[in-house]
Amino acid sequence: MSNILIIKHGSLGDIAQACGAIQDIFENHKKDKIYLLTTKPYIDLFKKNPFITDTILDKRLSRFNLIYLYYLMRTIKKLDFQKVYDFQNSSRTKFYKKVLFPKSNLNQWSSSETTLPKDKTKEEFDKNPVLDRFEHQLKSSGLATNNTMFPDFSWSCSDIKHIKQKYNLDKYIVLFPFCSPHLTIKKWPYYNELIDLIENKFANQFKVVIAPGPSEIKNSKEIKATCVLNNEKALDISELSSLIKESSFVIANDTGPAHMAAHLNAKGITLFGSHTTAHKVSIERENFKAIQVSDLNKLSANKVFEKFEEKIN
What's the confidence (pLDDT) of residue 313? Answer: 81
Q: Are residues 250 and 118 in the same domain?
A: no
Cβ 209 vs Cβ 174: under 8 Å: yes
Task: Confirm whether 287 is domain-assigned.
Answer: yes
Average pLDDT, the chain: 95
Q: What's the mean pLDDT in 220-237?
A: 96
Q: Are residues 238 and 283 in the same domain?
A: yes
3-state secondary structure 204-229: CCCEEEECCCHHHCCHHHHCCCEECC
Per-residue pLDDT for 183 more than 80? Answer: no
Q: What is the pLDDT of residue 84?
A: 97
* Shared-domain flag, residues 143 and 167: no
The pLDDT score that the predictor gives to residue 267 is 98
pLDDT of residue 110: 96
Half-sphere exposure of residue 73: CA atoms within 13 angstroms, side-chain side: 17
Alpha carbon of 12 to those of 79, 125, 256, 260, 261: distances in Å?
Answer: 27, 22, 5, 8, 12
Give residue 117's domain range. Answer: 3-152
Concatenate the DSSP letters of all residues of the chain into one string: --EEEEE----HHHHHHTHHHHHHHHHH-TTSEEEEEE-HHHHHHHTT-TT-SEEEE-----TT-HHHHHHHHHHHHHTTEEEEEESS-SHHHHHHHHHH-TT--TTTEE-TTTT--TT--HHHHTTS-HHHHHHHHHHHTT---SSTTS---GGG----HHHHHHTT-SSEEEEE----GGGGGG--S-HHHHHHHHHHHHTTT-EEEE---GGGTTGGGGSSSEE--BTTB---HHHHHHHHHTSSEEEEESSHHHHHHHHTT--EEEEE-SS--TTTTT---SSEEEEE-S-GGGS-HHHHHHHHHHHH-
Same domain assignment for residues 208 and 258: yes
pLDDT at position 254: 94
Mean pLDDT score, 75-86:
96
At residue 204, the pLDDT reads 85
User: Is the domain of 250 the same as that of 218?
Assistant: yes
Residues 207 and 173: beta-carbon distance below 8 Å:
yes
CATH of the domain at 307: 3.40.50.2000
- pLDDT at position 179 is 86
Question: What is the per-residue pLDDT across 289-303, written as a single tens digit (0 to 9) for each?
Answer: 999 999 999 999 999
Residue 157 within a domain: no
pLDDT at 265: 97
Q: How confident is the model at residue 105 (pLDDT cuts 50, 70, 90)?
A: confident
| pLDDT digit string, tens, across residues 7-61 | 999 999 999 999 999 999 999 999 999 999 999 999 999 999 999 999 999 999 9
**Does residue 270 share a domain with residue 180?**
yes
pLDDT for residue 130: 96
pLDDT tens-digit map of 188-197: 999 999 999 9
pLDDT confidence tier of residue 184, bands split at 50, 70 and 90: confident
Residue 203's contacts (CB-CB under 8 Å, 6 or more residues apart) are: none
Q: For residues 242 and 182, state if they share a domain.
A: yes
Is residue 185 within 8 A of residue 261, CB to CB? The reply is no
182 pLDDT more than 80: no
Span 274-278, average pLDDT: 92
Cα distances (angstroms) measured from residue 58 to each of 7, 13, 55, 78, 237: 10, 18, 10, 15, 19
Confidence (pLDDT) at 211? 98
Q: Which of 152, 177, 208 is the last residue of a domain?
A: 152
Band of residue 185 on the pLDDT scale cut at 50, 70, 90: confident
Residue 158 lies in a domain: no
User: In this structure, how many other beta carbons lie within 10 angstroms of the beta carbon of residue 26?
Assistant: 19
Domain count, the chain: 2
- What percent of the chain stands above pLDDT 90? 91
